[in-house]
Chain A
Amino acid sequence: MDKNKDTIKSRRNFINNGIKLGLLTAIGGAAVAKSLKNEEMVELMDTDGNLIKVPVTKIEEHSSLKTDSYNVREGYPNKKFVMVIDLARCKNAKQCISACNKNHFVSGDNAWLKVYKMQDNPESSPYWMPNLCQHCDKPACVKVCPVDATFKRRDGIVLIDNERCIGCRFCMAACPYSVRVFNWDEPNQGEALVKLEMSMEHFEYSPDHAGVPSVKGTVDKCDFCPHMIDKRELPHCVSACPNGVYFFGDLYEDSVTNGDETFQLSTLLKEKAGYRLMEDLGTAPSVYYLPPKDRQEEFEKGLENFTEYQSVEKTEES
């Protein structure tokens, strides 16, 4: 235990070194090159959670995480993406929902990420619970898909190939977390999407960026933002959250970050008694929740923002 405490302490120091490095370790983009001279040293965390000192010049940023052999159905090699959602911090600010809707051009009536008003029993306190695709290791949706349109990657992400989906909606029936949405009509995704597609030289659909574009008669859901991971950035919901609710990271590196703070995943889950939704179903989600204990803000404050019948803001054009 003492050793753990030490690492946490030293990690706090390290965090002060800046968000950028935190991101680097979290997403595992740090590459060490040959150094020529002695110069300024920075601390980095290795995969065991130990801090090591590395000269600044040895750090090289990769522009893209993708290699030539990248395969959208395989994912990034030697990665296992996880998310931690700290319910104690969630005040239903809903910035996550807006950011997700905007960046995935969600145009239907059901957002891919929603914040639920929850209460486990009449005696316990209500709390806000963000809910998104749990990227299960044993995904019920993938199991039932008749055409392999939704698939599980080695890096833990569950995606949908909407050029193959036949729209049977069996995956939606199978998902116990109700995170899948269907494009019942022609998606009205607006000009922003058109501009985005135009800005790319050769626009080519990839399941890596769900919603670009959405297709009538197929299923959509949270994609864990591989298009952001590729840029070594955090998923939209994580970076949009003003309260640092969401942590994203790599299970193999055992670290998660919300952009401001970085934690060792295993320690965080141990200390805060992290749990997963509906563990008893055996779906083995990649999303962990920290219980809503010692909350900074009253639950009631979030009620101002609560819209029971709406999760996607309608723009004027639609």
Chain B
Amino acid sequence: MKSFEELTNDLAPKKFGLYGKIWVAFLVVVILGAMYAYYQQATKGLVITGMRDYALWGIYISNFVFFVAISLVGSLVTAILRLSGVKWATPLTRISEIIAVAAIIMGGLTIIIDMGRPDRILNLFTHGRLQSPIVWDVIVITTYLVISILLLYFPLLPDLQILRRKYKNKKKLSKWYGKFSLNWNGNTTQRKIYKWSIQTLSVLIVPVAFGIHTVTAWLFATTYRPGWDSSNFGPYFIAGAFVAGAGGVISLMYVLRRTHHLKDYITDFHFDQMGKLLVLLILVYLYFNVNEYLVPAYKTTEKEAAHLKELFFGDEALLFWTVIIVGLVIPAVLLLFKKMRKPLPLFIIGLIVVIGAWWKRFIIVTPTLLHPFLPIQGVPESWHHYNPTHLEWLITWGTLAGAMLIVTLLVRFIPIIPIHETAEENNIVEPEKTASDEKS
């Protein structure tokens, strides 16, 4: 067993190495490119995108749905697994909470990017109307963001105090850790509040998480459009969100394990467990997909049939089947084998699942819009299709880079693995803590 000092040395945040610096520089360049593209959009209008009156929502909206989806993993790992007493997930709680916070921030930003008049965003508060699903989304996303930040922050308090003590010699750094730890000293009262708060937040975040993604699904399901007009949409989106989120956690835990040398903390066992969890989640999601596509395909009402034909055999068929087969079916089958749940293969599968999840949202949003009730006539030929422009892609990449930059910066300054919780679970006592306990 490791001593407390070894533990903190292992888990304390690390400065960027050369690769870390290159990575941050790369993200910053992408973000700067996106800012240039957005400047174009802000001055010229949404005309710089590939969207038009029929394909009126495009990759901004599907990217937004993706962000909301992947952010749900925070509630899955930190809340659902915590509440159901799954102990092995402890080292993954912070990773998933970091993903949740980064994704939901960029999701909120993405929806503003999609607005034709972002300068009028305050109208949502001065003229907001409760019957609009967009207003529900605004309410529930801000709530989720607040709870997610708290759920990231509260378990950090003891860790920040540990870091304050660890960096005693670096006055400035130590001071900041101390400030953010809110004078944590670990006495009985504080521990009681701490436990109670985390427990309460874990319970609270579950309905809110279901809320954000159900409401996001309702942005589509509350319209009449074939392909969206489905009572299956809420649970279908939630199931898909957990798949995306689990894939995200798997990818990130692999990367961090390598960059931060965390083999002792994120073990093959964790990958194995996450692999199994991913199989379960994919199977549930596939079940909802079967409901979503096969029931209307059985009935083939005229409009649904036109939409499904496009997906199954038409212009979108290649993408549709790639997402379903490569992004979902094959990963689920492969993960049934123990070898595939080893870190590297699982990482590759997790990454494929995440990329598939991104395109899945694309498949949900635009093809439906190109199959309206009345025929598309009297508009330029190019309006019959949707092809995102370079600037539109650049902005979208910028939001993804933004999310990754938030993750990278958080990882730079806070411990990826909860030190305090790991120490407690392994009965490792902090030498100095006994002293501070006596004082209070």
Tell me if chain B binds chain A. Answer: yes
A→B interface (CB under 8 Å): 109-111, 114-118, 131, 140, 143-149, 164-170, 172-174, 176-178, 180-186, 216-219, 278, 281, 307-311
In the A-B complex, list the 7 residue pairs whose CB atoms are closest, starting with the nearest. A167-B116, A217-B116, A311-B378, A185-B47, A146-B134, A184-B47, A146-B132
**Residue B431, interface by CB 8 Å:** no
* Nearest opposing residue in chain B for A97, CB measure: B378
Stretch at the interface among B31-39, B217-225, B230-238, B264-272: B217-225
A-chain residues with CB within 8 Å of residue B380 when the two chains form the complex: 109, 309-310
- Flag whether B434 is at the interface (Cβ < 8 A): no
Are the CB atoms of A140 and B117 closer together than 8 Å? no
Q: In the complex the two chains form, is B378's CB within 8 Å of A186's CB?
A: no
Other-chain residue from A109, A177, A184, A278 in contact with B51 (beta carbon distance below 8 A)? A184
**Chain B contacts of A149 at CB under 8 A?**
123, 127
Expressed in whole angstroms, the Cα–Cα distance for A281 and B51 within the complex equals 27
Question: For B47, what are the chain A residues with a Cβ–Cβ distance below 8 Å?
Answer: 184-185
User: CA A186 – CA B43 in complex, angstroms?
Assistant: 9
Query: Do A173 and B369 have beta carbons less than 8 Å apart?
Result: yes
Nearest Cβ in chain A — how far from B226, in angstroms?
A: 10
Give the dominant DSSP class at B's interface: loop
Inside 8 A of B223's CB, which chain A residues have their CB? 140, 144, 173-174
Say yes or no: B45 contacts A216, CB within 8 Å. Answer: yes
Chain A to chain B contacts (Cβ below 8 Å), 26 pairs? A114-B378, A116-B374, A116-B377, A116-B378, A145-B129, A146-B132, A147-B120, A148-B129, A166-B123, A167-B115, A167-B120, A170-B133, A170-B219, A173-B225, A176-B372, A176-B373, A178-B374, A181-B53, A182-B46, A182-B56, A183-B45, A185-B47, A216-B45, A216-B116, A309-B381, A311-B377
Contact flags B274-290 to A (C-beta < 8 A → 1, else 0): 00000000000000000
Any chain A CB within 8 A of the CB of B54?
yes
Chain B stretch 339-392: residues in CB contact (< 8 A) with chain A: 369, 372-381, 383
* CB atoms of B124 and A144 under 8 A apart: no
User: Which residue from chain B places its CB closest to the CB of A119 in the assembled complex?
Assistant: B375
* A168 interface neighbour in B51, B54, B114, B220, Cβ under 8 Å: B114
Chain B contacts for A217, CB-based, 8 A: 45-46, 115-117
Residues of chain A lying within 8 A (CB to CB) of residue B121: 166
Q: Does B207 contact A (CB under 8 A)?
A: no
* Residue pair B379, A311 in contact (C-beta under 8 Å): yes
In the complex, which of the residues A173, A186, A281 contacts B56, with contact meaning CB atoms closer than 8 Å? A173
CB distance from B273 to the nearest CB of A (A): 40
Q: How far is the CA of A317 from the CA of B51 in the complex (A)?
A: 25
Interface of chain A: mostly helix, strand, loop or mixed: loop
> Is B257 in the interface zone, CB < 8 Å from A?
no
Report yes or no: B57 in contact with A169, Cβ–Cβ below 8 A. yes
At the interface, yes or no: B131 with Cβ under 8 Å from chain A?
yes
Q: What is the distance, in angstroms, from B48's C-beta to the closest C-beta of chain A? A: 8
Chain B window 106-138, contacts with chain A (Cβ cutoff 8 Å), 1 for yes, 0 for no? 000000001111101101100111011111001
Task: Give the contacting residue for B372; candidates A145, A166, A178, A184; CB below 8 A.
Answer: A178
* B44 close to A (CB within 8 Å): yes
* Contact B52–A147 (Cβ < 8 Å): no
**B129–A166 touching, CB < 8 Å:** no
List chain A residues, Cβ under 8 A from B123. Answer: 147, 149, 164, 166
The residue of chain A having its C-beta at the shortest distance from the C-beta of B54 within the complex is A178
- How far is A146 from B374 in the complex, measured between Cα atoms in Å? 25
Given A146-B124, A173-B57, also A184-B46 (CB < 8 A):
yes
Known: A117-B377, A166-B117, A177-B373. A172 touches B128 (CB 8 A): no
B201-249, CB < 8 A from A: 219-220, 222-225
Smallest Cβ distance from A276 to chain B, in angstroms? 13
Residues of A within 8 A of B374 (CB): 116, 131, 177-178
13 extra interface residue pairs, beta carbon distance < 8 Å, beyond A183-B45, A217-B115, A307-B378: A109-B52, A116-B377, A143-B131, A144-B132, A145-B129, A165-B117, A167-B115, A167-B117, A168-B114, A184-B46, A185-B46, A217-B46, A217-B117
Complex interface: chain A residues within 8 A of B375 (CB):
116-118
Contact partners of B220 in chain A: CB under 8 A = 173
A218 to B219, CA, bound (A): 19
Task: Flag if B378 contacts A164 (CB, 8 Å).
Answer: no
Bound-state CA distance A178–B374 (Å) is: 7
Task: Assess the B124–A182 pair: CB atoms within 8 A.
Answer: no
- CB A116 to nearest CB in B, in angstroms, measures 5
Write the B54-85 contact mask toward A (1 if CB under 8 angstroms, else 0). Answer: 10110000000000000000000000000000
Q: Are A164 and B381 in contact (CB under 8 A)?
A: no
A144: nearest chain-B partner, CB-CB: B132
* Least CB distance, A270 to chain B, in whole angstroms: 26
Contact between A110 and B377 (Cβ–Cβ < 8 Å)?
no
Whether the Cβ atoms of B133 and A172 lie closer than 8 Å is no
Contact of A166 with B120 in the complex, beta carbons under 8 Å: yes
Q: Chain A contacts of B134 at CB under 8 A?
A: 144, 146, 168, 170
Complexed CA–CA distance, A110 and B376 (Å) = 10
Given the contacts A109-B380, A182-B56, A169 and B116 also touching, CB distance less than 8 Å:
yes
Residues of B within 8 A of A131 (CB): 374
**Which residues of the other chain, B, contact A144 by a CB distance below 8 angstroms?**
131-134, 222-223
Closest to B126 in A: A147
| Most chain A CB inside 10 Å of its own CB: which residue of B52, B116, B372, B378 | B378
Q: Which residue of B lies closest to A115 (CB)?
A: B378
A110-B379 contact in complex given A147-B127, A184-B47, A217-B116, C-beta closer than 8 Å: yes
Question: In the complex the two chains form, is B378's CB within 8 Å of A182's CB?
Answer: no
A182→B53 contact, CB < 8 A? yes
